[in-house]
Amino acid sequence: MPAIPLEAAEGARPAAAFAGKTRRIDRFGATAYIAAMALRDILILPDKRLRKVSEPVKKVDAGVRKLVEDMFETMYDAPGIGLAAIQIGTPKRVVTLDLAKKEEAKNPQVFINPEIVWASDEKALYEEGCLSIPEYYGDVERPAQVKVKYLDLDGEPHEIEANGLLATCLQHEIDHLNGVLFIDHLSKLKRDRVLKKFAKAAKRTSEPKRAAE
Ligand code: K1U
Ligand code: ZN
């Protein structure tokens, strides 16, 4: 794995292995570079960055590979079955997925610059969740099958035909890359209720705590 300058891990918080420990960093010696994966904070509604349209990846380089490692660490820790880079604050068109069941071996999948090139007329309903909208679930209707083109970690182009949970997840994550959240597919009444609830919660956490009287 290539070494990553510590400064490049901006916005990162230490991986579990470092939790509670002080990392001694000799900025001028060999240890000035770390290659460790980092657990990153997941943006939560109503964070405005979730509404940003992410930029295409121009070159699949070491920085993109480090981003993907951080995404997997963060996704598995959450836990989640998918993650878009913008959910950890990086506006790049990168998606990670792992749809393996608990008892199955891990099946990490990476989609760089994913694009839906075909969608079926047939629809499927799935109760979706989102790591950026914790503990809220809603039924979303989407095309039952999609064809998606994307680049892999070597920058090689691929196209897959997806159905079932893979089709749902890919569409959910590609929506994230376009600043769209699954609640945008719900009725205005339901969406407004969720937005209000999360706006209230954010206000509560940002308010200074009053000293006990
Ligand atoms: O993009 C995200 O926020 C991740 C999201 C993906 C997703 C789930 C369901 C339908 C569409 C897209 C999640 O991973 S939510 C958590 C979740 O579904 C889950 C977590 C642990 C085990 C099984 C599922
Ligand atoms: Zn989501």
What's the pLDDT tens digit per position in 84-113?
999 999 999 999 999 999 999 999 999 999
Predicted confidence band at 35 (pLDDT cuts at 50, 70, 90)?
low
The answer to whether residue 173 is catalytic is yes
pLDDT over 80 (residue 15): no
Task: Please check whether residue 122 is in contact with residue 145, taking contact to mean a CB–CB distance below 8 angstroms.
Answer: yes
- Whole-model pTM: value is 0.85
Categorize the per-residue pLDDT at 3 as very low, low, confident or very high, splitting at 50, 70 and 90: very low
pLDDT of 207: 85
Q: Taking a C-beta distance cutoff of 8 angstroms, is the pair 55, 92 a contact?
A: yes
113 Cβ below 6 A of ligand 1: no
Q: What's the angle, vertex CA 176, arms to CA 174 and CA 182, rounded to 5?
A: 100
pLDDT at 203: 95
Tell me, what's the pLDDT at 17?
A: 30
Burial group, residue 71, by CB count within 10 angstroms (0-12, 13-18, 19+): buried
In 3D space, the residue among 169, 161, 90, 99 whose CA is nearest the CA of residue 128 turns out to be 169
Mean pLDDT (whole number) for 41-56: 98
Comparing 205 with 132, which gets the higher pLDDT? 132
- For residue 201, what are the CA distances in angstroms to 188, 196, 212? 20, 9, 21
> Rounded to a whole number, what is the largest CA-CA distance in the chain?
63
Annotated catalytic residue, options 103, 115, 128, 173: 173
Centre of ligand 2 to C-alpha 206, Å, is 23
At residue 5, the pLDDT reads 32
pLDDT in tens, 168-198: 999 999 999 999 999 999 999 999 999 999 9
